[in-house]
Amino acid sequence: MPDEKKKKIVKTIKVDVDKCNGCRACEVACSALHAAPPYSSNNPARSRIRIIREPLKDIYVPVYAGEQAKAECLGRDKYVIDGKEYEECAFCRASCPSRDLFKEPDSGLPLKCDMCECDPTLEKPLCVQWCLVNALTYEEREEEAEEEPRPEDVEVSVEALVDKYGLEKVLDTMDRLSLSKKG
Amino acid sequence: MRYAETGYNLEIDLTRGNIERVETDPRDTELYLGGLGTNAKLIWDRVPPDVEPFSPDNLLIFGAGLLCGTPATGCNRTIVSTISPQTQLLAFSMMGGFFAPELKYAGYDKVVLRGKSPELVYIWINNDKVEIRDAAHLAGKGAVETAELIRQELKEPKAQVAAIGLAGENRVFFASIEQGRSSASRGGIGAVMGDKKVKAIVVRGTRDINVSRPAEYMQLCNEVLQYIKFRNENPIPGVMPILAGLGSPQEMKVHDEKWHTENFMWGNSRLRRKDFWNEEIAQAWAETLDSMRRRLISCYNCPMTCGATIAPPGRSVYMMKCFSKLTYTMAAMSDLEFGLGIAQSATEYGVDGFSAPQVMAFALELYEAGILTDQDFPGMPADNEGRFYWLLDRIVRREGIGDLLANGTYWAAKEIGQGAEAYAHNTIKKHEQLPLKLSMLNPIYFLMYSTGEKINITQIEGQFPQAPFPTRAERETFVKDWFQVPDDKFKQYFLDWEPRGEKSMPFYPTVQMCCDIVDWQEKMHYIDDALGMCAGLSSFPLKPPYHIHNYPKFISAGAGIAMDEEKLTQAVKRYRTLVRAINIRRGMRRKDEKPPADHWKKRFPELEKDLLDTYYRFKGWNDEGIPTEESLRELGLEYVFTDLEKRGVYADSGDTPPQGTGAQNEKEV
């Protein structure tokens, strides 16, 4: 096999909290684009980006919705940066049971940022386009994709399981798993 | 389905504690748009002229503009309308911030308050759930402090709060309503809120606002954003920096205050300090601003960063608006450090940044003149800055002399007598004005000062340059990309306008041209006030992104109301005339329509008479400024004519005011 590593494009939004003016245009643009049909309605509560905003404490953190967390996590972290204490979960992207962020207001279903890969995919996420103060900037970078695991590595792992549970149990389990994956 | 608007008002009877969600008539939206337009209709219909400002029958309306909550950049204004305790006329101050969109998302276009609550309360609007809650624990709290306390107690950090401070609670005639980084300050509407015993309105909404033709609407929004970018990169050459860009004057950004400090008046709008600004002051003021300013901030959905969070040493953080930066400094003949410090107190107390400093400077002038004496100021400190803090405390508590001063310069002077009236020299229709005193009559400004019913020059001026450019070449450059004009004739007016000679002020622009110019400028403000657009992106700056040519498209695609320039112009004329009719019915007449006597040194009585006569006719008003039967019928306002005639308004020149409310009658406080 040729020794060529796979490449993938990683889309990122760089958030400069010092430049954020707290106007929430990003929330407006996001919720408008993701309405059905697009732009037919607007509602920041549906936005996949939200600004954690406490003007009197000078806290402005735009946060993008990430993966859903089905349960609350153990840690409720607080961050102190430049003497400013950020509320717990301020930087967390999860839609989770401990807060009302990133949930559809009617159904409670989790929201997740799709980088505006809708139809048609936008050149830059709309929130970035609407952020004229440049708190949000779009960056693409190329990364090497993780290599496929080598077959012998898988073999080592399965052998360890056979050692532990016996071949029969492992085979039964494999059957059940493959059935449920298909089903 | 209703587009852009929700189609519902929240009607709250504070006396009985009754709350109703009332569907509105879509035909009213077509006729009066929304915001100020439909507010004015409600006041005309429901507040007869004998209703006093502090009567339970006075309404206090928080109206979100028609397009608030849609993606239109900068569309975030709440228009607060009521009868003003100071002017006795319609007050329709507005505030930016975050309140109006939140109210729309909660499902309402307006909150209409009537009656009076027996105890201090706040109103909590959370989508469909609306409560009147006890606010006894918030009595006496600052406006900013109140907002924070309420958010904490409701555990709703995203709720938006419009609150009054001590000044509103004590019905100070220039009390404001503070909200977000904004406030509705002019006309004393905070006093009406305090009189109704409402400490705050709190709102949280998570509903959709729909637009009629989505793709088209978004395209219009994107064009506006692109033009804002263009204008930010291309300031207008040849005008002072605050007029070169968009937004409200960028007071929080600029360090160079030479123009304001040397052209605006100091003290009680008395002293012009032509050589004030020097390097030493420039450096000291820059240090002050840099050390206290934390961040430049914006209202909802707007990139303009016109405001800032300010942290004066030893005081809590507040959000500064616009020219309050200098009004206290200049009234007290002090420096920026003092100004930014006392503005923190003023924001918490909730007072108007134009009236409050002027009232205090007026009081100290009366003291120097011996009209007020030591007996009136027991315990007042000796230094000027200390005196301002002392006076502010007395005013918002209505203690001692503060009780008189709390009614503003006009009513206070009347009560004090002994020639005090001459010191209340900077009011129009009893309302304190910007501290400006100039030399040569500007005929355009004469008309705007005289007839502007928001009674504040910044709320009527804007589209046409304030002064001619020195050379024809500069004027030619200016008009080249001036597509915002409603008609090309405005370009010609400006091209021919010379600083000196035959075509210069006061006789050029001609009377007829002045009518056109004033009408255009005023029209843009009235459109903004109905749609909820910030004047800083529309009616106030030169060459704005919103104008008479794209507004009809926004209304059509957004609200689904077929609209063109002609129909929009007619709608604006309709509710603008209704505002006038409300005030005429309350006794306003030609005699009230004049700038402060000392505003200009060089006056031209015959020209001024001609200007006013011609403008009144141009607007469809008679010689007393009363809308004529013909013009009312043309606008579909027959019901207004019938009412005015029934009340004998056309026969009344206003020499006998319909009621004598004001300072004397309001001593019960």
Q: For a pLDDT cut of 70, what percent of chain B falls above it?
A: 97
CB atoms within 10 A of CB B360: 26
User: pLDDT, tens digit, for every residue of B123-181?
Assistant: 999 999 999 999 999 999 999 999 999 999 999 999 999 999 999 999 999 999 999 88
* B554 in contact with A, Cβ within 8 Å: no
* CB-CB neighbors (< 8 A) of A131 in chain B: 303
Q: What is the mean pLDDT of residues B35-62?
A: 98
Rounded to a whole number, what is the distance in Å from the CA of B117 to chain A's nearest CA?
A: 31
B438-651 topology per CATH? 1.10.599
For every residue of B83-125, DSSP letters joined together read E-TTTSSEE--EE-TTHHHHHHHHT-SEEEEES--SS-EEEEE
Cis ω on the peptide bond leading into residue B235 (within 30° of 0)? no
Selected residue with higher pLDDT from B384 and B323: B384
Q: How high is the mean pLDDT of chain B?
A: 95
Cα(B536)–Cα(B542) distance, rounded to whole angstroms? 10
- Residues of B within 8 A of A36 (CB-CB) are none
Distance from CA of A120 to the nearest CA of B (A): 14
Nearest to A56 among B69, B148, B205 (CB): B148
Instruction: Nearest by CB to A105, from B71, B206, B301: name it.
Output: B206
**What ipTM was estimated for this complex?**
0.94
Reported as a single tens digit per residue, the pLDDT across B605-663 is 999 999 999 999 999 999 999 999 999 999 999 999 999 999 999 987 766 554 444 43
A101 interfaces chain B, CB cutoff of 8 Å: no
Query: How many C-beta neighbours within 10 Å does residue B136 have?
Result: 9
Cα distance between residue B207 and residue B469, in whole Å: 49
Q: Which CATH number fits domain B244-421: 1.10.569.10, 3.90.76.10, 3.40.50.620, 1.10.3720.10?
A: 1.10.569.10
CB pairs under 8 A between A and B: 94
Contact A21 B305 (CB under 8 A): yes
pLDDT tens across the length of chain A (183 residues) = 555 677 888 999 999 999 999 999 999 999 999 999 999 999 999 999 999 999 999 999 999 999 999 888 877 778 899 999 998 788 899 999 888 899 999 899 999 999 999 878 899 999 999 999 999 999 999 988 776 777 777 888 888 889 889 999 999 998 998 888 775
B-chain CB neighbours of A17 within 8 Å are none
pLDDT exceeds cutoff 70 at B668: no
Report pLDDT for B407: 98
- Chain A residues in contact with B71 by the CB 8 A cut-off are 28-29, 32, 39, 42
* Residue in B104, B204, B301, B344 to test binding to A, most A beta-carbons within 10 Å: B301
Pairing relationship of beta strands B293-297 and B307-310 according to DSSP bridges: antiparallel
Q: Is the predicted pLDDT of residue B515 greater than 80, yes or no?
A: yes
A56 at interface of B, judged by CB pairs closer than 8 A: yes
* CA quadruple B266, B267, B270, B275: dihedral, nearest 10: -30
Residues 6+ apart with CB under 8 A from B447: B514, B515, B518, B611, B612, B615
The phi and psi torsions of B56 (rounded to 5 degrees) equal -60, -20
Q: Is A53 helix (H, G, I), strand (E, B) or coil?
A: strand
By Cβ distance, the residue of B157, B214, B303 closest to A40 is: B214
Q: Which residues contact residue B463 at a Cβ distance below 8 angstroms, ignoring those fewer than 6 apart?
A: B484, B485, B520, B521, B524, B539, B542, B544
- CATH for B8-204, among 3.60.9.10, 3.90.1150.10, 2.40.160.20, 3.90.1170.50? 3.60.9.10
Which residues of chain A lie closer than 8 angstroms to B294, CB-CB?
58
- How far from B142 is each of A48, B158, B165, B255, B589, CA to CA, in Å? 35, 20, 5, 29, 38
List of residues 6+ apart from B452 with CB closer than 8 A: B459, B460, B522
Residue A23 to residue B298, Cβ atoms within 8 A: yes
* Mean pLDDT value of segment B197-215: 98
The ranges of chain B annotated as CATH 1.10.569.10 are 244-421
Q: What is the arithmetic mean of pLDDT over B404-431?
A: 97
Q: How confident is the model at residue B194 (pLDDT cuts 50, 70, 90)?
A: very high
Among candidates A35, A43, A130 on the partner chain, residue whose Cβ is nearest the Cβ of B105 = A43
Q: What are the tens digits of pLDDT across the range B459-469?
A: 999 999 999 99
Contacts 24+ apart (CB under 8 A), A89-95: A90/A52, A90/A59, A90/A61, A90/A63, A91/A61, A91/A63, A92/A63, A93/A63, A93/A64, A93/A65, A93/A66, A93/A67, A94/A66, A94/A67, A94/A68, A94/A69, A95/A65, A95/A66, A95/A68, A95/A69
Please name the residues between 29 and 48 in chain A that touch chain B, using a CB distance below 8 Å.
Answer: 29, 32, 35, 37-46
CB contact under 8 A, B215 and A39: yes
Phi, psi for B183 (deg, rounded to 5): -160, 155
Residue A23 to residue B302, Cβ atoms within 8 A? yes
User: Quick check: B277 and B286 in contact, CB under 8 A?
Assistant: no
pLDDT (0 to 100) of residue A118? 83
**Given pLDDT bands bounded at 50, 70 and 90, which one contains residue B242?**
confident
Residue type, A37: P
Q: Which amino acid is at B404?
A: L
Mutate to test the interface with A, among B104, B211, B228, B231 (most CBs of A within 10 A): B211
CA nearest B219 in A: which residue?
A: A39
B302 touches chain A (CB under 8 A): yes
Of A28, A41, A58, nearest to B295 by CB-CB distance is A58
Residues in chain B with CB shorter than 8 Å from the CB of A99 are none
